[in-house]
Amino acid sequence: MNVYTTPVTLAEGVKTGQDRLVLLSGPCAVESYDLCLEVATTVADICRRLDIGYVFKASFDKANRTSATSFRGVGMDRALHTLERIKKEVGVPVITDIHESHQVAEVAQVVDVLQIPAFLCRQTDLLLAAGASGRAVNVKKGQFMAPEDMKYAADKVRETGNANVLLCERGTTFGYHNLVVDMRALPIMRQYAPVIFDVTHSIQQPGGMGGSSGGQRQFASYLARAAAAAGVDGFFIETHPMPEKALSDGPNMIPLQQMEDFLKMLQGIWQLSKAAINS
């Protein structure tokens, strides 16, 4: 099976196809500047030691929460200001989600990578606007999508002349309140673009706690190790110093104090896999 080999540049110093893992990681949402600073500083230090290309992630708006009363964010202006400070003060590129085409211009002034949420991966106008921004674009595979159909999402972004597009696996709907990861999706999608494996949303249980989503953190390492062995270009991992107190997606997140060991484990398997494939 062919693999898409053209490197994708996420930001200066962070590129796929360089025998170096890429990591998109941070808290689910911009809860506060202090939280983002703690997470970004900690993960950036780990990634420098391990030589992993790091992009800090936090959503400025959680527009697809289960309940209308759930926390969505601190407001677009405040969240983007926080992301801008993290970028400058920690010295890392940043990524956040966009949900509507009119958000693209303002968000792209701050972030290095625009992320298309899974539910919106078929939204042509949103994909075209993201591509036209000139920023790298990470498109999450919809829970309802066949992996081969993600080719068309990548093509829409490239139609704008922007070749810096990634595809992201985050599980497929399997009955009610459950997801399953078909590892065949990884090599299938890697024919069309570099692939990021979303560890934490793949163990999510959408709507599984009534008015909010649950998660099965105990399976995170199993799926992540399998993806590293199967061959991916990078990982998406949400993390928080106290996941049980997180305002969004706490049950899925890897505790911040466990991130270094978690990344060492993944990097070791990933490097062995690449060596085996290239031998």
At 70 the pLDDT is 81
Q: How far apart are CA 127 and CA 139, in angstroms?
A: 8
Instruction: Decide if 27 is inside a domain.
Output: yes
**φ and ψ of 173, to 5 deg:** -55, 130
Residue 261 sits in a domain whose CATH number is 3.20.20.70
State mean pLDDT over 113-124: 98
Tokens of 270: 């990933």
User: What mean pLDDT is reported for the chain?
Assistant: 95
CB atoms under 10 Å from CB of 2, counted, come to: 8
Task: Indicate the residue type of 222.
Answer: Y
**Residue at 210 is within a domain:** yes
- The pLDDT assigned to 242 comes to 97
Whether residue 2 is contained in a domain is answered as no
Overall number of domains in the chain: 1
**Residues 111-127, mean pLDDT to the nearest whole number:** 98
The verdict on residue 1 lying in a domain is no
Q: Give the pTM.
A: 0.95
CB 140 within 8 A of CB 131: no
User: CA 53 to CA 16: how far, in whole Å?
Assistant: 9
Q: Is residue 190 part of a domain?
A: yes
Domain that includes residue 81, residue range: 9-278
Query: Is residue 3 domain-resident?
Result: no
Q: Which of 211, 217, 220 is nearest to 244 (CA)?
A: 217
Q: Which residues pair with 68 in a beta bridge?
A: none
Tens of pLDDT, residues 44-58: 999 999 999 999 999
Q: Which of 93-102, 130-139, 177-186, 209-218 has the lowest mean pLDDT?
A: 209-218
